[in-house]
């Protein structure tokens, strides 16, 4: 749980976030990249010192890695970020590091040869957390090493999260807190989504603490809730959107649609209040049109930028 301490007139809020995942998944590299990114570039957090590494002779994490960052927006807020050792024999150490955690960033190794190790690590985390994952502890997912060939897809990761009860359907109260999956490259030179994943986990920890008193905040769902937006797409258009989502946004088509749904949630509610006796199908058509227009504009923007680069 987020901890607050006072020393005279000063106050310090400490947030503990763990990078969890299998051996050789890239957790240490990700934390090293985040440390360097926030030290050398303008971000809204900054390291307070050097990164602490306790490793074996071959560079593998022996106990844990740790780095502390101070918020530049709320200067009293500090983030203590840990990686856990991924080897099977270090389960007791992982259990100790897990204590008092506020947020989890699960690092999947996207190499297909490591798929079973991902599942074992996820199951161990679930067992340790009991029923607190997502409900009390925010979960964000990084699908790491996406620069390598023959890697698992976003949809495969979504499916295992569903199988493990960590991805909810729209009707569920925790649906809005489903883990976002970021396709990631952890190395500094080619880094992708390293800061975004941390930022999202930190954001959720803050929301849980402020609005949910330590649990996932409940969202008031309108009685006449639109539970699903059905898209009727040609195969060509569907393929275009899937390619755009993967190559330009680093996400899946389903995640892209969910993000658009979240962005337009307030507009949904306004439409519902104004709808009167309008058939629900007509509302769905209006909403589908709004999301479709947004996606098309995004694609046009990226196409325009690409054409300028070519010229």
Mean pLDDT of the chain, nearest integer = 79
Confidence of residue 74 (pLDDT cuts 50, 70, 90): confident
Integer Cα distance of 287 and 267 in angstroms: 9
Higher pLDDT, 31 or 262: 31
Query: CATH: 3.30.70.2740, 1.20.1250.30, 3.40.50.300, 3.40.50.970. Which one for 3-211?
Result: 3.40.50.300
pLDDT in tens, 194-246: 999 999 999 999 989 888 888 998 765 444 443 444 445 556 666 777 777 77
Contact between residue 83 and residue 65 where contact means Cβ atoms under 8 Å apart: yes
Integer Cα distance of 94 and 6 in angstroms: 29
Q: For the chain, give every domain's residue range.
A: 3-211, 235-310
pLDDT in tens, 77-109: 999 999 998 677 778 889 999 999 999 999 999
């Amino acid at each position: 749980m987020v901890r607050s301490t006072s020393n005279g007139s000063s106050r310090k809020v400490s947030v503990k976030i763990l990078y969890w995942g299998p051996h050789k998944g890239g957790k240490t590299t990700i934390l090293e990249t985040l440390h360097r990114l926030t030290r050398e570039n303008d971000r809204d957090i900054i390291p307070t010192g050097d990164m602490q590494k306790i490793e074996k002779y071959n560079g593998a994490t022996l106990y844990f890695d740790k780095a502390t960052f101070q918020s530049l927006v709320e200067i009293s807020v500090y983030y203590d970020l840990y990686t856990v050792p991924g080897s099977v024999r270090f389960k007791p150490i992982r259990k100790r590091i897990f204590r008092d955690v506020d947020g989890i960033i699960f690092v999947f190794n996207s190499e297909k040869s490591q798929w079973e190790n991902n599942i074992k690590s996820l199951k161990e985390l679930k067992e340790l957390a009991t029923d607190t994952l997502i409900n009390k502890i925010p979960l964000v997912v990084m699908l790491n090493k996406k620069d390598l060939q023959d890697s698992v897809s976003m949809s495969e990761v979504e499916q295992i999260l569903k199988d493990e009860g960590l991805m909810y359907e729209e009707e569920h109260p925790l649906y809005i807190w489903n883990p976002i999956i970021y396709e990631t490259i952890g190395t500094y030179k080619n880094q992708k989504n390293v800061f975004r994943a941390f930022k999202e986990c930190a954001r959720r920890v803050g929301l849980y603490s402020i609005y949910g008193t330590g649990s996932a905040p409940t969202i008031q769902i309108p009685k006449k809730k639109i539970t699903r937006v059905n898209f009727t797409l040609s195969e060509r258009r569907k393929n275009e959107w899937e390619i755009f989502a993967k190559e330009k946004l680093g996400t899946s088509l389903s995640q892209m649609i969910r993000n658009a749904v979240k962005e337009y949630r307030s507009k949904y509610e306004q439409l519902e209040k104004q709808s009167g006796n309008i058939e629900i199908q007509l509302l769905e058509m209006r909403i589908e049109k709004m999301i479709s227009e947004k996606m098309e504009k995004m694609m046009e923007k990226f196409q325009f930028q690409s054409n300028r680069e070519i010229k």
